[in-house]
Homo-oligomer: A and B are copies of this chain.
Amino acid sequence: MEIRIGIAKANKYAVAECGDSFEVAERPRGGISAILADGQGSGKAAKQTSSLVVNRAASLIAEGVRDGAVARTVHDYLYAMKDGRVSSTLTILSADYDAQTLLFSRNSNCPVLVKTEFGITVYDEDVPSIGVHKYMKPLMNQVPLEVGTILVSYTDGIQAAGRKRGNAVDHGRILRLLEDNGPGDVEFIAENILEYALTLDDYRPGDDMTVVVMGVSDRDSTHRIQRFSVSFPY
């Protein structure tokens, strides 16, 4: 079995700093987590917020803290540090080998899409962002860790793409993309969703855009080689 993660990200048009941040952390009891945050606003302040959120979450995951406690801890921290005045979304997608589940935690207005052998489910119940309410809980769900499963999430810039130009995201298109592709295609799925959103915004994104895709595929080699690659344009 092999967990694959593909992430594609674009900045808001003409803004140097991206208010979305992500991080990937290895789980000490086995497995890997992808963490995605969209800080309130845009530019440097939003970047600092989301960067603080994902870094803190990644450290806690790597220390073995359970995902629900990670979301609560990071919320409390942000709430205390910024006096309840700065919000951030927080989505954690985890492949947990110990529990043999794919676990996902949402504090975001954006959904998590889950493709299993039984079809695609969209998890989009209302849940507040972190940082601004005295009490908050993450919405947590899990599915079995099985080959073929794909999890997708993204930030507001994807959700709202095209809105200022009278366009709207056709969610059916994203679902078809998921139907037509497998867990080995996570990079393609992430880039395709990002490209679609960029097109709706005429390649001048109205907000920071990030897509995260996690897939469970068969291992393509007998040797357990872990691979990791980054393209970071300047």
Binding site for B on A (CB under 8 A): 1-11, 18, 21-22, 24-26, 28, 30-32, 47-48, 51, 55, 58-59, 62-63, 95, 97, 186-187, 190-191, 194, 198, 203, 219, 221, 223-234
Contact = CB atoms under 8 A, between A and B. Distances in A.
B230 A5 contact: yes
Given A2-B231, A51-B62, A187-B229, 9 more contacts: A4-B229, A8-B227, A9-B225, A9-B228, A55-B63, A225-B233, A227-B229, A227-B230, A228-B229
Contacts of A55: 25, 58-59, 62-63
**Number of identical protomers:** 2
28 contacts: A1-B234, A4-B230, A4-B232, A5-B232, A7-B228, A7-B229, A8-B226, A10-B224, A25-B55, A26-B51, A26-B232, A32-B230, A55-B62, A58-B58, A59-B59, A187-B229, A190-B227, A191-B227, A219-B233, A219-B234, A225-B231, A226-B230, A226-B231, A226-B232, A226-B233, A227-B229, A228-B229, A229-B229
